[in-house]
Every structure is written in structure tokens, then in C-alpha cells.
Structure 1
Amino acid sequence: MTQSCTHASLIMELDVGGCWLASASLPQVLDLSKDNFHGHLPIDFSHLPWLEKLSIWRNHFNGLIPQTTSHCHHHQVLFAAENEFYGSIPEFLSSLPKLKFLNLYDNGLTGTIPVTFANISKLEHLNIGQNQMHGNIHSELGSITRLQVFCVEKNILTGSKVKQFVINITAWSLGVEGFVGAILARNSFKGHLPLGLGNVAMMFNMDISVNKLSGELPLLLSKLQMLEYLNLSQNTFDGYIPEQLDHMRAIACNEHFSDANFLGSGSFGSVYKEILADGRTVAVKPRSLSTFRCPSFESVPKIGYHD
């Protein structure tokens, strides 16, 4: 099957049935998003050494992530969400020195998070949510000082080293650009939230819902004054949400957003009752998790051809 491309100045022919891509002037950007491609990704990326951005999201590509992508030493963006890739996340991705954006959301990937990701010093956005990853989150990942978004939701990650992960978040929040958010929802993490969470200098979103976390909510959560979205629901936490966090756009904690606390709905969505630690009752509106799900599609750099 041959997929025609309108930008002939960059790509002369793409033959998905074969295994080659002929180019007139080696492209820096290749966008095959939402084109309903099936089968293995047939491009030999060793012939595209200057490729900086590859977007193939929302197709039906399957198989292993091609090893030849390791030849793209100028690669900055790999956006391969919503495909059918399987196997482990290849460690050769860690050899891409300029990689900033890696989104493998919603594939069939297995194995553990490569500890060698710590070598991708320029990585800003890591989204490997909705796969079948297992194991712990390595402490070494805290050395990625430019990381702004970390999403591992909807996997089967386990472990009780929550304290170490908070140390990672703290390191990321002190990085070059600050830290936007961590999404760890729908895994099997255990343990208590450590006091060190209050030391995170800058974080806007945190979702650790639907895990096996427990214990008292640290009062130092009140120090997270930059936090806009916090979801702690479907864990077994005790205590109250600190009143200093009532500035947030949404708070979700255990059964607080249950039918019993429903106040009404309107053009701005549903509103629920929330009781703060000082006894005050406030009305809050939960921000839809489907809209924040992961910044996988909201904050992805625009992928397109150069004119």
C-alpha cells in the first residue's frame, strides 16, 4: 500500500508495503498521524539521520519499536501514542542525546521502565501510560533535571518506595523549567505519602488515584501552593485535605466526590461539597480526568511539515 504525501518537497514516496522511504531532501519532520496505517513501521530510520520530530500517533502500527530509530541522533520528539507496539521499551532510546518528548501512551508495551532513561538529560516529557509496564520507578530517574511531565498511569507498576519517588519529584521541581505534573493513577503502588512531598518547589498537577496507598495525609501538602489539580481518590488515606489547598481547581480524595456530596450541576459541570480541615464547607468542581488524562495530546509540540 502506498500512502501519498502532499509535501513532495520533503518526501517523494512512502511505500508502506515495502521497507523504504525515498526522500528528496532529508526531512527533519515526519508526520504520519491518524492515517490508519497497519502493520510494522517499515521505515529504515538509518537513512533519516537529520530527523528531529516523528509523529505516528493514532494508527495501528505494531511489532517492536524499530531499532533503526537509534540512528536519529537529532531526534527531539517521538510521538507514538495509540498504536499497537509491543515488547519492552528499548534501551536504545536512551542513546538519543537530544530527545525531549517521548510519548508511547496506549500501546501494548511490557517490561520495566529502563533505568537508562536517566541518561536522556534533555528529556522534558515522558508519557508511557496505558501499557503493561511493571516493577518500580527507579531512583536514578531523579537525575533528569529538565523533566516537566511524568505519566505512568494505567500500568501494573508496584512497589512501596514512594519516598524515593517523591525525592525524584522534588529533584524535577527544582529543574530548569519546574515540574508540571506526575500522573501515577491506576497502578499498585503501596505505602504512605512521605513528608518530603511538601518540599516540592513547583508542581501543578498530581494524580495518584486508584492505588494501594494509605496512612495520614501529610500536613505539609499545604505547602504545595502551585498545585492546581490533586487526585488522591480510591486509596485508603486518613485525615483531611489541608485548608490551604482550597485554591485548587479540583481536589478528589476518596469518597469526597460521591453522590452523597453532590450539590448540583450546570454549564460548568458538577459541583461537590468538600469539608476542609478547619471545618469550613466549600464547593469544588472536579476537573475531568479525561481532559487532563495525561498531557499526551494537550501539550504535545505541534508536529507538521516545514514549508
Structure 2
Amino acid sequence: MTALKQLDLRNNQLKGEIPATISFLRNLNHLALGTNKFTGTIPLNLGRWQPLRLIGSSQLLVELATPKIYGSVKKCLFGKLPTARNHIFSLEWLNLAKNNFHGEFPSVIQKCENLATLDLEGNRYDSIIPSWLGVKNPWLRIIQLRSNMFYGNIPRKLSQLAYLQLLDLADNNLTGSIPTEFANLKSMRQQNMKQSIIFQYQYFGQIDVNWKGHYYEVFQRTVSLITEMDLSSNFLTGEIPTERSNLHSLKFINLSWNHLSGSIPKDIGDLKFLESLDFSWNQLTGTIPSSIANLMSLSSLNLSSNHLSGEIPKGNQLQTLDDPSIYVNNSGLCGFPLSIACPSDSSSVPSFDEKGYHKDLGELWLHYWVAAGFIFGIWLWLGVLGFCKPWRIAIFDCVDKM
């Protein structure tokens, strides 16, 4: 079939190796082989005649039910990507998730200047994330590298990716601090930024995105609705950059399971479109900023297992997040929805009036006098009814007339 241009064999039970003769298809420019049971390596001469626009996911996921059972993953493809050749330089969508690819970060990717989606999730890559990724691939829109063994610092040059809207580096061995340069990510600063230039072809590619702890199958036409940064389950240290509040279009932030310290940025409430925020299992201190109550779209929040203190802010969307587990393992927190009540003014020292009397004590005595006056009035009224017959008759006669 020498005239074949698109080949989509996804979601079958195909097994064995990907035949090397597939490279003889001179006109092939779209290839999708995901969700099968292929084994072996990727043919070295794949797409040698025609520049491939897309390599579909070669993930070997056994679908047992709907939704997919991601614990049942059969990792079969292995080895390394083919070395740099001109025939793959036009790649726009590369999805090789959930296989056994290993070694260094694929250097061939820096030759793919048109690459918009890169998904290497769930492999065994053991290297640093190269800084050239933010320079050589300027059209990158999705970077999903979670569940590998990448180590070292997060490259600061990723901030140069003007169209980046999904950055998932979770579950690796990354160290160092969160780059402050991430505040310059244009696509995360501007809501509804036009990026249609990236996806001009008609193929409906798809990736699996971890969103609020669940996997969802996302198609290229709907991926623009997702703006996410997931750096969880690493070894990151330092403070959360205050510049993070400039990323106004972010909808999902997950920095959990790291070693971050310092306080939560006071301007966190500026992220108006934020739907999910997870800072749990870190070493954050200080109070929860009151501006967090301004997050009107927030539907998922987790600040547990830190060293936060003070009263939990109230109002707006926070009143609907009434699960105490959101704030547990913070010994200094108090207030709703925890069962720990806050003092009337825990932040102030005892105050006295001009005569030297304790103000709080004076207010307490005032309450006592009001209660005593109420009790005295009740007994006086009952005494009149019980011991003064003319008054009792007059009162009951008045009530009867009414």
C-alpha cells in the first residue's frame, strides 16, 4: 500500500514486534499504534521516506474496564529512540508513555523543532532534563515526564516556552528549588492565549493526563482547556516563589510530597481560575493567607502535613471545602472545619483599660450581670403572679381580652 498516508491501529490486541518493513511506506506521515501488545524496539528507519508528523502512543496498556485500570500496565517496548535522522525532524506529537525506554533523555528530540506534545511518562529514563528543551523546541505545549528517574535541577530555560500549558514532572528525583523564571511562562500568564498555530493538522491525537489524582484521556482539541503544573513527589527545596501568583491562567498546581519551606505566597488569591491546589506533605510554616478565600473556582484543596498555624480563613468557596483532612497534621491550625476552636484573639497580648482593669475580664463580668438581671426579672414576674392575687387577675383578664 505504497500510497498510504495515515495508519491508525490503536486499541487492538496486536502483539509481536513492529515490523521493520513499515518503513517502506514512502507516503506515511501519520502513525498511531497505541494500546496494543507490541514488544521489541522501534524500527530504526521508521519514516525514512516521509517526515512523520505524529508517532502515536506506543504505550501497552491492558484495558480491563472503563475507566482504564492503570495498575494493569504491560510495559513491553524497550530500548532507546532511533538516532537523529532527518526523517523525524517534523514530528509534532510524540507519545511513548508507559513503556520500558531507558537511558539518557532522547537527544533526537532537540532536532524536532516543530514538536508540540512530548509524553514520556512511565518509562525508565535516568538522566537530567536537558536545558535545550526550552530552546530547541519552542512550540512545546505539553511536557509530560512523570514517573521516570530524572534527577538534577529543573531547567530554568523551560520558562522560555511561550506556549507551554501543561508541565508534569511528578514522581522523579528532581532536586533544587522551583525556578522563579516560571513566572515568565506566557501561556500560563494570559488567559485564552491563541495557540491554534500549533495544531493545524486534522489528526485527533490524545494523551492521558493526571488531573486531580485521576487519569483522563484528553484529545488535542480539548487540551487547551487544561493549564497545569505538577512538580509533586520529588525532592524540591526552598520556598514557593511569590512570582507564582503571576500565572493567572493556571487551573491546577500540585507541589505535594517535596521539602518546600517558607510560607504560602500572600497573593495566592490572584490565581482566579485555580481549580485544584495541593501543597501537602511539605514543611511550610506561617499562616494561611486570607486571599485564598478569593479562589472562587477552587474545588480541590490540600494543605495537610505541614507546619501551618493560625486561624483557617473563612468565606466564599472555602465554606464548601468542609473536609477536615484538608488541614490535618498542622498542629498550629484552628477553626472551621477542624474541631479545634480558636481563641478570640490569639495574635494579641492581654489589654487593659485606662483604670488598669483587664478588658476581657470586664466583658466577662458584664455577661455575668446580664445573666443575673435576666434571672432576677423572671423570678420577680413569677412572684407577682403567685403572691399578688389582684395583679394576677388583672393580667389574665387582659390576656383573655386579647
- Give the TM-score range, shorter chain: 0.7 to 0.9
- Matched-pair contact (CA < 8 Å) for 1:240–1:277: no
Is residue 153 from structure 1 mapped to residue 232 from structure 2 by the alignment?
yes
Is residue 42 from structure 1 mapped to residue 82 from structure 2 by the alignment?
yes
5+ residue gaps, structure 2: 1-15, 34-39, 61-75, 189-226, 331-335, 343-402
Q: Which amino acid aligns with 2:313?
A: P
Query: Match for residue 254 of structure 1?
Result: 327
Give the Å deviation of 1:220.
1.8
Aligned-CA RMSD value: 3.0
Q: Distance in 1 between matches of 2:322 and 2:88?
A: 44
Matches within 5 A, 1:218-257: 218-244=289-315, 245-248=318-321, 252-255=325-328
- Matched-pair contact (CA < 8 Å) for 2:253–2:278: yes
User: CA 1:32/1:223 → structure 2, altered by over 3 Å: closer, same or farther?
Assistant: closer
Of 253, 269, 280 in structure 2, the residue corresponding to residue 182 of structure 1 is 253
- Matched-pair contact (CA < 8 Å) for 1:231–1:251: no
Give 1 or 2: higher helix fraction: 2
Query: Match for residue 127 of structure 1?
Result: 168
Aligned length: 255
Computing the radius of gyration over CA atoms, which structure comes out larger, 1 or 2? 2
Query: Match for residue 337 of structure 2?
Result: 274
Q: Which amino acid aligns with 1:218?
A: P
User: CA 1:82/1:249 → structure 2, altered by over 3 Å: closer, same or farther?
Assistant: farther
- Matched-pair contact (CA < 8 Å) for 1:11–1:23: no
Give the Å deviation of 1:133.
0.3
Give the Å deviation of 1:42.
2.7
Q: SS at the partner of 1:243?
A: coil
Deviations 1:108-140 (A, max 9, x none): 000100011111111110000000000011111
- Matched-pair contact (CA < 8 Å) for 2:285–2:306: yes
Q: SS at the partner of 1:21?
A: coil
Query: Match for residue 33 of structure 1?
Result: 58
Q: Which amino acid aligns with 1:200?
A: L
Q: Distance in 2 between matches of 1:129 and 1:86?
A: 14
Deviations 1:54-76 (A, max 9, x none): 00000010011221211111100
User: CA 1:278/1:80 → structure 2, altered by over 3 Å: closer, same or farther?
Assistant: same
User: CA 1:88/1:20 → structure 2, altered by over 3 Å: closer, same or farther?
Assistant: same
Q: Distance in 2 between matches of 1:222 and 1:17?
A: 51
Q: Distance in 2 between matches of 1:189 and 1:125?
A: 21
Q: SS at the partner of 2:246?
A: helix
Query: Match for residue 243 of structure 2?
Result: 167
5+ residue gaps, structure 1: 258-272, 280-307
- What percent identity do the matched residue pairs reach? 23
Give 1 or 2: higher strand fraction: 1
Mean Cα displacement is larger for which, 110-119 or 27-36? 27-36
Q: Distance in 2 between matches of 1:143 and 1:249?
A: 34
Query: Match for residue 101 of structure 2?
Result: 61
Query: Match for residue 37 of structure 2?
Result: none
Is residue 193 from structure 1 mapped to residue 264 from structure 2 by the alignment?
yes
Q: Distance in 2 between matches of 1:46 and 1:242?
A: 57
Q: Which amino acid aligns with 1:214?
A: T
Q: Distance in 2 between matches of 1:246 and 1:133?
A: 36
User: CA 1:256/1:87 → structure 2, altered by over 3 Å: closer, same or farther?
Assistant: closer
- Matched-pair contact (CA < 8 Å) for 1:81–1:104: yes
Q: Distance in 2 between matches of 1:126 and 1:235?
A: 24
- Matched-pair contact (CA < 8 Å) for 1:44–1:68: yes
- Matched-pair contact (CA < 8 Å) for 1:229–1:249: no
- Matched-pair contact (CA < 8 Å) for 1:243–1:277: no
Give the Å deviation of 1:199.
2.6
Q: Distance in 2 between matches of 1:60 and 1:71?
A: 23
Q: Which amino acid aligns with 2:337?
A: E
Q: SS at the partner of 1:75?
A: coil
Query: Match for residue 99 of structure 1?
Result: 140
- Matched-pair contact (CA < 8 Å) for 1:20–1:44: no
Deviations 1:190-210 (A, max 9, x none): 011132222323211110100
Q: Distance in 2 between matches of 1:55 and 1:234?
A: 35
Q: Distance in 2 between matches of 1:249 and 1:200?
A: 21
- Matched-pair contact (CA < 8 Å) for 1:86–1:107: yes
Q: Which has the higher contact order (CA 8 A, sep 6+)?
A: 1
Q: Distance in 2 between matches of 1:195 and 1:106?
A: 31
Give the Å deviation of 1:18.
6.2
Q: Distance in 1 between matches of 2:138 and 2:300?
A: 32
Q: Distance in 2 between matches of 1:114 and 1:191?
A: 22
User: CA 1:17/1:151 → structure 2, altered by over 3 Å: closer, same or farther?
Assistant: closer
Deviations 1:218-264 (A, max 9, x none): 2221111121111001112123432321234967433289xxxxxxx
Q: Distance in 1 between matches of 2:104 and 2:86?
A: 16
